Amino acid sequence: MSSQLRNRLLFVLFCCATGMAHAQEEIAKAEFVVEADPYYSNIGYNIPLTGQPIPTITSDSEAVIYRELIQGSLIPRYMTLEASVYPMPVLGTWLKSHQRGLYDSGEVGGSGFNLIESLTAGFQEPWALSAFFGNVAKLRRPGQPGGGENYGYTGYLLNVGAKHIKNNTMVDDDWFELEWKIKGKLDYPGRKLSWSLRGGTKVHRNPDVNDIYYLAASRSHTEVNLPFLGWLENASMDMRLHFLQRDGKPVRAELIAGKKFPSPRLDIIPTLSAGFIWNSPDEYSGPLRDRTGNRLTFILRPSFEF
């Protein structure tokens, strides 16, 4: 065999091998996703339902990202299994049940305001198991390589759990929740953006915890190189409304706003969030129903973002 023919054959074999490797890269793969936060920590497992790989959306525009995520979301192409835990709310229930003296020391005068409750309130369950069916996309900034840790989700979510938290007290309650949501995050050096839009229903086996419909929205933006007092940019907002299933009456409202203070000289970002949770007595029935009327809990969350 001549050297010219041998070289041609080697070139053809190289092209075939390269093409096969590229095809293997295009096969959809299951992936683990981990998030850690004092109020919401989780581990998820993305499972493709088709042979298509997780697509990548390359854009700096939130509107473009929302549009691309929503397109085709009626037909799920991915499933995500997730286990989540809410550390600070769990800590609040533990302190109230096991360290009552320390918990009561958080009372400010006779105002009814408890600092520990203010720091740990915000979730009505200690943990949850979830199954998500919808679309998953990797999010990438133009000109930015990689993007493996940035994901966007849109579709249907089923949550289940076995406990309920009322005023930092654990209550036995098997519950399930069905919602439609769109959420995602962009996390790059010097810039972070996350968002979530949700609507759904929650059903409780405990007859004293009333079934509800809800709407929720949240957004958080951090950019190190913006002015120190760039209030609108370096800020977060969380909103949630609950309505009784039986008559649509509003029974719970949450509003929490946060301010971040980034600096190019610091690896951590001090943050301060504050807001309130309003509860109607009709949120509960029987022994769990509050007899003193509407309840307002002030929320205070000083923390650090890494």
Give residue-wise pLDDT tens across range 82-124. 999 999 999 999 999 999 999 999 888 777 789 999 999 889 9
Bridge partners (DSSP) listed for residue 215: 199, 241
The better pLDDT of the pair 251, 134 is held by 251
- Phi, psi values for residue 25, rounded to 5°: -65, -25
The least confident of 80-89, 186-195, 250-259 is 186-195
Question: What was the pLDDT predicted at 11?
Answer: 44
- Phi, psi values for residue 86, rounded to 5°: -120, 90
Supply the mean pLDDT for the chain: 84
The better pLDDT of the pair 14, 285 is held by 285
pLDDT reading at 270 higher than 60? yes
Question: What was the pLDDT predicted at 271?
Answer: 87
Residues 197-227 pLDDT 10s: 999 999 999 999 999 999 999 999 888 877 6
The two tokens of residue 273 are 């969030």
Residue spans of the domains in the chain: they are 29-305
The confidence band for 149, taking pLDDT boundaries of 50, 70 and 90, is low
pLDDT reading at 58 higher than 70? yes
Structure pTM? Answer: 0.81
As a whole number, mean pLDDT of residues 38-60 equals 85
Question: What was the pLDDT predicted at 161?
Answer: 96
